[in-house]
Amino acid sequence: MAKQPDSDSFLDMFSRFGRDLKLPNVDVQAILDHHRKNLEALEKSARASAAGASSVLARQHEMVQDAMREITRLAQNYQTPGNPQDVLGKQAEFARKSFETTLRNASEVADLLRKSSTESIEILRDRIRDAMAEVRAGYDKK
């Protein structure tokens, strides 16, 4: 057997392997296109996830800044009244506002995360659907 050059590409080796095993002709380009589309879908999904994470972090940063401004404002306007009931009333009001803000912020962050993950999953789901159609089309040709 003649010595083959060392510079064979993976595609050449793959094709030669198929010929040596007497496999039916393999459309290497179709296989490469299929995997290229898979990788593109993964990349697009990762970008969508990263964008979602970035928007969540940015929004959480805004929420913390808003909370700090509100706390600063309340602290600056806080005057200790002589009546203990007034003190308790202001503390209860502050606690209520804090709780409502926390719930609202948590809900907003959950919505951002849900939207981001849904978009990422849809990208992958669409690629899986297309891949299955490609496989079916390949079998239909035979």
Residue at 129 is within a domain:
yes
Full residue range of the structural domain in which residue 124 is found: 27-141
| Confidence (pLDDT) at 1 | 47
Q: What is the mean pLDDT of the chain?
A: 81
Count of structural domains, the chain: 1
Residue at 18 is within a domain:
no
pLDDT single digits (tens) 70-122: 878 877 776 666 677 877 787 788 888 888 888 888 899 999 889 888 999 99
Residue at 89 is within a domain:
yes
Residue at 19 is within a domain:
no
| Confidence (pLDDT) at 126 | 94
* Range in 25-39, 54-68, 69-83 the model is least confident about: 69-83
Residue at 21 is within a domain:
no
Q: How far apart are CA 25 and CA 132, in angstroms?
A: 21
pTM, entire model: 0.60
Better-scored residue on pLDDT, 64 or 5: 64
> For 12, how many CA atoms within 13 A lie in the half-sphere containing its CB?
6
Residue at 5 is within a domain:
no
DSSP 46-71: HHHHHHHHHHHHHHHHHHHHHHHHHH
| Confidence (pLDDT) at 18 | 66
- Using pLDDT thresholds of 50, 70 and 90, give the confidence band for residue 41: very high
CB atoms within 10 A of CB 60: 14
| Confidence (pLDDT) at 118 | 92
Residue at 45 is within a domain:
yes
CB atoms within 10 A of CB 37: 14
Residue at 20 is within a domain:
no
Residue 23 has pLDDT above 80, yes or no: no
Residue 123 has pLDDT above 80, yes or no: yes
